Structures are given as structure tokens and as C-alpha cells.
Chains A and B, each alone.
Chain A
Amino acid sequence: MELDRRDLLMALAGGTLFAATPLAPLSAAPRRDWAIVLSDLLPSNESARAVGRAYLDTEPADFDPQRLVEDLFEGQDRAEMQRLRGAVASAVRADFEAGRTVSLHGWFLSRTESQLCAMVTLLEA
């Protein structure tokens, strides 16, 4: 599955995605495109929701979905799933390296993986 980066960013930029509160706006975003990309990345949807909810419960101040996506898609003209996966894996490792971790039910997870789960959760909300 491929998605044009422009389409994706358009989708992101649309609506109130980046309004003041980080949690509400995603629901206002065009859901379809996001759900396709992200649910493909996270086929274990129930698990993504469980982790995402736990993350959102921590009321993270630094949860910025736009930046997350831009970082992951940086330098890519087209969002190939394989490359996206690679970008996520690198970001996850870089998070651990830099200590950007969150503790959910005692599990230490990278910020990127938790935030991706949070996005899925919000998109499906």
C-alpha cells in the first residue's frame, strides 16, 4: 500500500488537527487516510488501543501528532510501508537511546511507539 506524502500531509494539515489541546483534534481530522496508514502499521488494533489509552491517561504534554508524523515521513516522497516501518524502528531505537521513554503499567516504552498507539486510539474514537 502506498500513500502520497502530499495526501498524507494534506490530511494532517486539514481541520483542527494541531489545535491547542493535543488530544481532541485528531478526531476532527480526515480519518480514513490516517487509519489506513496507521492501522497497517499496527495490525494488533486492540493492543494499540490498550497501549494508546494507557499513554493518553498519562496526559502527555509533549504529544504532538503532527511532529510525530512529519518526523517519521521526513525525506520520503511516498510513504512506502517498508520505509515507514524502518523509520519507526529507527525512531523507537533513537527514543530509547535518548531516554525518551514512558512508563505504562511499569513497561518502559519508547515515546514514538506509545504515541503511534495513541494516534490509532484517537482516530478510532
Chain B
Amino acid sequence: MYVDARSLSDGERLEADLCIVGAGAAGITLAREFIGSGLRVCLMESGTFEMEDEVQALCQGAVLGAEFFPLDQCRLRFFGGSTNHWTGFCRTLEPLDFAERPYIPHSGWPFGAEHMRPFYERAHKVCELGPPTYAVEDWVDGMPAPFALESGRLNNAIYQYSPPTRFGQAYRDELEKAANVTVLLHANAVNIETPAEPDRVTGIAAATLEGKRLRIVARDYVLATGGIENARILLNANRVQAAGLGNAHGLVGRYFGDHPIVWRSGLAVFGEGYPNLEYYCRDTRVRGHLVRGVFLPTEETLNRECMPNWAMTLMEARLTDASEGARSLKTLVAQAEAGELLDGFGTHVLNIVRDLDQLAESAWHRAFDTQIRIYTTRYWCETPPDPESRVLLVEEQDRFGLRRAGVDWRLPGDFYANIVKSNRILAEEFGRLGIARLQVFPDRTPENKDDWPHIQFESSYHHMGTTRMHADPRRGVVDADARVHGISNLHVAGSSVFPTYGHANPTLTITALAIRLADHLKTKQRDL
């Protein structure tokens, strides 16, 4: 059932067994799990079924650190949350992502990949994905053949695409019909109420933009407002404890992570006629499911190189991928296609490879005579959990008098070095196979940024880590059940609980964790 909070009386009090704040991937998944459970669920949502400027403006905030999208443009504040825009690129986290890695401080989850497997399986259905397997052999029969990567340094792998499931649209009717679920639209959580000794939550104070005040009282509460907002709400809930709720150890908002993506991190030149590159640069439909091939480092590579996890894929290069020098060269001399994309040195490199690399010789010759195949490498990675990378409150306030969020995203000092290292690993694989040479684009510095305008990283709209999960309250905001340490009935859903991020896009894991949390809360409520 849907109720518009604006239609309720000012000061109205609603009761439920479970109050979920935020109807994005996490909140909707959680609410759906309770359909028919006999428990009364109130799912509060700030917006309605379409985007409204005034509501969206509540997302505004400050960018304080590394390049980041404006805060009101990197998430959506209406029913369905950011899944109203998401691309649907999905993959489970890998066993290594859950493990504590000695070379990545603060890494590791309180449980492993095997524990997550049944939840991932259920989440696959929610996200309308294919079978819950990412083993290449389960997909490759329907795909263009990948390279035979036998060095043990890289693996072929796949990502799956969700259609993408727009959670707000896909599950709207189901929630409408659910007798035990009330979706409260236009209801903004503005405070989390606790007693003076904040060991439990006694209610959520909500408000509409028109000024109506409401109160939702439940046995259990879940914050599911997204990776930035979950921290912001806890930090702003500071009437009882000045540092905010669940923040006894100053961890709320810290360890903020996103996946920096470098759309063009290098240039790979292949001899024409070399087997299909489509595995890596095209989405392929396999038995009705859209998938994309990628290169992933093996665990051994990551452990040996002490690198955070990453992934790479290929894209056909465009003229804009060339350096300024190479582009202006084009206007001076009529160049072959290769010359348009390669600078002088790159052309020399190709000449040498053509001369020396016998196996590829014929391919190189053909390539030179006719067309060369130039691709760029797309790279994305996890950042190591860093307490200095954080969401914090800035002085500016929103319509409700709540301080806005500031995002101070920090990239690790070896971020660029790892881009080079990853491209080198790929280059060595290509060289070993005798199929290509690869140039990593130089670091973007203030001096060369105009020469290489495309060497930019972007954030990926994946806001993680700000209420990280750890069994020890000094090292995590929530425990292994996603319950805020020290507060008996407040849980958190979403990627803010990720203690380590992996390279995989987060929504599948968010959904799996929401299902896991639902199971836990059902048991908890039954035992009460």
C-alpha cells in the first residue's frame, strides 16, 4: 500500500514492526522479503514515483577531496533510488575481497564468499540476472572466444548485466498489493530518536517538505538511504550524543570508497586478423542474458604485487584517444589510420615489432598495409579502505536544518602506479601471446592534462564503507549482522556496510546483503 505522507495529519504517529528508511535497491529488497510475513513494515521514502527537483535538491553537498560528481547528481532521491539510473553491471565479490589481506590495512569482511553464496543466488533473481555463476566456462560457449591466458597472472572473467532492474518500477505493483507493507512517500527521516542512554531507537522523526511532522515507531529500524546518506543521518542524529549516533569511536562516515574508473588508461595495438577481441569490447547476449568479458588479475598476481583488486576491458579507440601531438600530426601529413592515433614514437614501436616479432609478422605487415586495430584499455579498481577518506557534515544546511554531507574522497598514493602496473601486466600477457603492444598513458599532471584530456578517472556512483561492518566496535560501525554497535534495534543496509570493496559494482552485493538482513530480522522478530 502506498501512502503519501503529505496526506497525513501533522504530528501523526505510525506504528510498525519494522521501519525501513529509504526505498532504493536495499530498502525495496528488504521490504519485499517481508511480504506475507505477517509483520507490519513501514518503508519510508523521501520522494515519490518520479524525480522532483525540490526533493532531489536535498542531495546537495560539498565535494572536498578527489574529483567526484556533484552530490545531487551522483544519486537519485525518489522511489527506487539510484536504480532509476543504474547501468546494471553486476558481479559478485570474489573470495579474496572478503579475506583479510595483509598488504591492505583494514581489509576483510566478518564472513566469506561461501557464506554469501545463497544470498547472491537469491539476489540474482531480484536483479533479474542470469544464473549465479561467473565462471567463464559457464558462459563462453555463447561468446566470442577470449584469449588463452595461461601465464597465471590474468584470468578471463565476465560481468553480467541486469536489464537493468529499476527497482521502483519492477516492484511497485507488488508492494502496492502487499497488505503488510506501507510505503510512505514524501517522508523524509530527519532524526533517529533514542533515550538518553542510546542503546535502542525509539522512533524515527520524519518530515515532509511542506512542513508536516510525523513519527514512526517500530520494533526494528533499518537505514537504507544510500552510502552517503546513511552516514549523514547518523551524524546528524546528534541530540543525544554530539558526535552522532553509533559514532562512539568516530568511525561513522570514514572509510568512504568508490570505484575510480579510467575510461582510457592505455592504448593497445593489435595486428589485424588476430582473433576476435569482441569478448573484451562488446556486450554479448548469451542464452538471453547480456554479459561482458573482462580481464581480472589472479589472486596470485594481487598477492604478489600487493595491489588492490581491479578489472580491465577493451574499447575501440577513437581519434580523441590520441595525444595532442599525434592529432596535430594528422593535420600536417596525410596519415594512415594508425598514424592518426599513435604519436611518432608509437609508430616507431610498431615498426620495430613488425621487424622483430616473427610470429605476429604477417599480421603486423597486414596491419600496416591496411588497417591497424587500436583499442584503449578501460581500468577500474577498488581503493583500499582509508579512514581519512570520508563523508562528513559541512556547515550548510538543507530545508530541514540538517547539515549537508561533504565527501572527502581520498585516492591511495599508489593509485597511478597501480594503473601502470595493471597495464604492464596486460601488456606482458599480450606480448607473451605475440598479439599486441600496449602503451600506458602517462600520468595526468597539470602540465600534460591538455595533451591527454582523456586520462581522467571518474567516480562510479558507488558509495561504500561509511558504516563499515566489523565485529569489533572500535573497527566497525555495524556488526556482522549489520546492526549498529551498541544499539539493539538499528540496522544498516546498503554499500555503506562494505568493509572492503572489491572491483565489482556494488548493487548485487547490496541486494544480497539486504536479503541476508531480512532473514536475520525475521528470526530476531520471531524470537522477541
CB within 8 Å of B: which residues of A?
Answer: 41-44, 46-48, 50-51, 54, 85-86, 88-89, 92-93, 95-97, 99, 101, 103-110, 113, 116-117
- CB atoms of A88 and B356 under 8 A apart: yes
- CB atoms of B346 and A42 under 8 A apart: no
Docked complex Cα distance between A101 and B430 (Å): 12
B272: shortest Cβ distance to chain A, in Å? 18
- With most chain B CB atoms within 10 A of its CB, the pick from A46, A95, A96, A103 is A96
Docked complex Cα distance between A107 and B426 (Å): 12
- With most chain A CB atoms within 10 A of its CB, the pick from B351, B355, B357 is B355
Docked complex Cα distance between A6 and B343 (Å): 41
Which of chain A's residues have a CB closer than 8 A to the CB of B357?
89, 92, 113
- CB atoms of A107 and B345 under 8 A apart: yes
CB within 8 Å of A: which residues of B?
Answer: 151, 266, 343-349, 351-359, 420, 423-424, 427-432, 434, 437-442
Question: Nearest chain-A residue to B441 (Cβ)?
Answer: A106
A sample of 27 cross-chain residue pairs with beta-carbon separation below 8 angstroms, ordered by A number, consists of: A41-B355, A42-B356, A43-B355, A44-B348, A44-B352, A46-B348, A47-B347, A47-B355, A50-B344, A50-B345, A85-B358, A89-B359, A93-B432, A96-B432, A97-B432, A101-B428, A103-B420, A104-B349, A105-B343, A105-B439, A106-B266, A106-B439, A106-B441, A107-B345, A107-B437, A107-B438, A108-B423
- CB atoms of A42 and B355 under 8 A apart: yes
A91: shortest Cβ distance to chain B, in Å? 9
The 9 A-B pairs of least Cβ separation, nearest first, read: A96-B431, A89-B358, A108-B427, A47-B351, A44-B351, A47-B348, A50-B348, A96-B432, A106-B439
Which of chain A's residues have a CB closer than 8 A to the CB of B438?
107-108
Q: A109 and B358 in contact (CB under 8 A), knowing A92-B431, A101-B427?
A: no
B214: shortest Cβ distance to chain A, in Å? 58
Question: Nearest chain-A residue to B427 (Cβ)?
Answer: A108
With A103-B424, A107-B437, A108-B439 given, can you name 16 additional A-B contacts, CB distance below 8 Å? A42-B355, A47-B348, A50-B344, A51-B345, A51-B349, A54-B345, A93-B431, A93-B434, A97-B432, A103-B440, A105-B343, A105-B346, A106-B266, A108-B427, A109-B352, A113-B353
Question: Nearest chain-A residue to B345 (Cβ)?
Answer: A105
Docked complex Cα distance between A116 and B343 (Å): 22
Docked complex Cα distance between A101 and B354 (Å): 18
Which of chain A's residues have a CB closer than 8 A to the CB of B358?
85-86, 88-89
B416: shortest Cβ distance to chain A, in Å? 12
Docked complex Cα distance between A107 and B323 (Å): 14
- CB atoms of B355 and A44 under 8 A apart: yes
Docked complex Cα distance between A101 and B344 (Å): 21
- CB atoms of A116 and B428 under 8 A apart: no
B434: shortest Cβ distance to chain A, in Å? 6
Q: A107 and B349 in contact (CB under 8 A), knowing A96-B428, A96-B431, A97-B428?
A: yes
- CB atoms of A89 and B356 under 8 A apart: yes
Question: Nearest chain-A residue to B151 (Cβ)?
Answer: A97
